[in-house]
A and B are shown apart, each in its own frame.
Chain A
Amino acid sequence: MPFDYRRFNGPEDSVSYKRFSEDFLRTYDELYKDLLDENGKRKDGRALNEARSLCTSISRTNIVSQAKGSAYVELNKTKVICSVFDPREITGHQNEYSWFGQIYCEVKFAPFSCPRKRRQLVPDSDEKALSADLKKALETVVRRDKFPNFQMDIFVYILEHDGGCLSAAINAAGLALADAVVPMYDIVSASSVAIINDQIIIDPTEAEEHLALMYTDKEKNHGLVTMCFMHHLKQFTDFRQIGSVDAECVLKVMDILEKECDKLMLVIKKIMVSNVVRQHNEHKVLLEEAKFREEVLQSKVEEWRKLLNAG
């Protein structure tokens, strides 16, 4: 196990106290019974085919001042922050000249982000896989021919993980790239679906994802699908499925996810527009303030000149 010795990592053999709680060892059947209430609603009150709304008032772009572009995305308890930095030249003698720009993606979980365990500071295989998936999703969208032999860094930090972190990360990165005015073919949106016992659950929470991937003897479909979609070009840039799902269900899920991504696109556009409006307003306020200061200064100068002339 990789370990960062420069940091204090806590005692190695500590365990989460949750392991001793009754909830920890609940079986698949018990959890499944709790999945839906008597009205067919999920724990957070949503219907099966209801996604969490990407809150337009909270989710926004341009929140990290040092970065070229940045975005914050919040889906109830899933909170993701993403920043995009200026392209920089790829150096080093062993690297060949690359005709296409490179994208470097890094997805990181905050140590306290996950409900089940504390995340280590050193990237684990989960994070590496997420980074690779994010890279796959974005490489297709960005006009990499516009910056040959340059590398662009995209960092995603997951502050709180409550399901759908890959799709949230892609959405955040898409917004951040747009904020950084990186040339792109299209806007991306991503959405995910969990399949539990043949039921299709849109935009699952962490508990639902856990149940979908839990070990069970049931023959029914179980799994998790995440999809990244380019809205205007009508193309998938990434499609990931895990679990065991039959062909019919996969095809059905594709159609559902396509619709979900289309719905999400409206919200993403709204966030982008509101960001432009906000920046424009801020700019206007700044201009007015500058004008006001100018006037004050001018009047002072006039005053002093009068005094001088009088004296």
Chain B
Amino acid sequence: MAGLLLSRTEKVYIVNGIEEDFRSDGRSNYDYRPIELETNVVSHASGSARLRLANTDILVGIKTEVDIPKPETPGLGKIEFFVDCSANATPEFEGRGGEQLANRISNILQRAYHASQAFNLKQLCIFEGKQCWKLYVDILILECGGNLCDAVSLAVKAALFTTRIPFVKAALMDGGDVDLQLSDDPFDSKPLVVGTAPLLVTLCKIGNKFVVDPSAEEEFCSIVSVVIGVSGNPAHYTTEKIENVESKFTTIGMSGVGGLVPDTLKSAISQGIVAAKCLDSALGRSLLRERQDICSYKKDSYGFLK
């Protein structure tokens, strides 16, 4: 990680600790750090979320725009991810410094959301073959404290959960072009169905063990990590009773320099899917609670000054 200095003894301390399932901040290898999440923090965005995972700080804003669907998929909307690494996080991100990292994260997200069982693009269709909604998911990395992928995916899912797309009141055909009429009332809109949206889990190989949610120091000690995207279970994201959907891998990738023996990779991805399921249910619960608070006007806004 950027600008981080670790002595050899510190590395040995981290690696040995993980070997004994006891990490330097007191967690076990399967534990996440505390996560703070607040939704609807940006008033000009259709949906937004801010997530703080220990020292990692992510802000996600979603803008919806009207676009023409791709000719090969006339009934589908579009979703695009842009990651911006703010120079606030570390001076190394200044200029084009963070570009590589940003590209990597947006690539993984794009791949994870590509699968039809991960995110239903049909709900973004307005008028088949003519018009559709395009979601611009803008991710701002305000602070890096390790484990960016997981934090970003959680924040994106939370932001998508709060995103509302306006109802179309009327559509007029005007010589082949479509004229849309939307209502002026911002509450005259429908929420997106995002129960199946994938979450990313990074499994960092340190020594002989895999850990979830590595801190920046731990990432520094690892040579290879596996990033998996696991689709969510919509039952966690609604108060109604619906059937559980089995989680599936929507993307698997490796990063860092190093190889893995097949058995190690197999154990890693089975460890990862368990972690993803736990994360997914926890995220669903807190998002539902937050939505309830908003409905009953009880919500205290924390904003950035907590």
Contact = CB atoms under 8 A, between A and B. Distances in A.
Given A215-B116, A222-B115, A254-B262, A241 B107 contact: no
Contact of A247 (B254, B258, B269): B269
A242 B254 contact: no
A126 B107 CA distance: 9
A interface, size bucket: 35 or more
Contacts of A24: 71-72
Contact of A258 (B76, B248, B262): B262
A210 B248 CA distance: 20
A240 B259 CA distance: 13
Contacts of A158: none
Contacts of B104: 132
B215 interface: no
A128 B117 contact: no
Given A215-B121, A217-B116, A254-B265, A236 B72 contact: no
A212 to B, nearest CB: 10
- Pick the most buried of B76, B262, B269: most chain A CB atoms within 10 A of its CB: B262
Nearest to B114: A242
Interface stretch (A83-91, A200-208, A227-235, A287-295): A227-235
B4 interface: no
A95 to B, nearest CB: 12
A244 B258 contact: no
Contacts of A128: 103, 107
Contacts of B178: none
Contacts of A266: none
Main secondary structure, interface of B, reads mixed
A115 B251 CA distance: 25
A19 B254 contact: no
B117 A244 contact: yes
Nearest to A239: B254
A219 B107 contact: no
A136 interface: yes
B259 A241 contact: no
B71 A244 contact: no
Contacts of B114: 213, 242-243
Nearest to A129: B107
Contacts of B74: 25
Contact of A236 (B71, B76, B248, B262): B262
Interface in B235-252: 246, 248-252
Contacts of B249: 223, 241, 244-247, 250
B252 A239 contact: yes
Nearest 10 interchain pairs by C-beta: A235-B259, A241-B252, A244-B115, A244-B117, A244-B248, A139-B257, A215-B116, A237-B259, A246-B248, A242-B111
15 contacts: A24-B72, A215-B73, A225-B252, A233-B259, A237-B254, A239-B252, A240-B253, A241-B249, A242-B111, A242-B114, A242-B250, A244-B118, A246-B246, A247-B269, A254-B266
Given A136-B254, A242-B250, A246-B249, 14 more contacts: A24-B71, A125-B107, A139-B257, A217-B116, A234-B262, A239-B265, A240-B254, A242-B114, A244-B115, A244-B117, A246-B246, A250-B252, A254-B266, A258-B262
Interface of B: 71-74, 76, 103-104, 107, 110-111, 114-118, 121, 226, 231, 246, 248-255, 257-262, 265-266, 269-270, 273
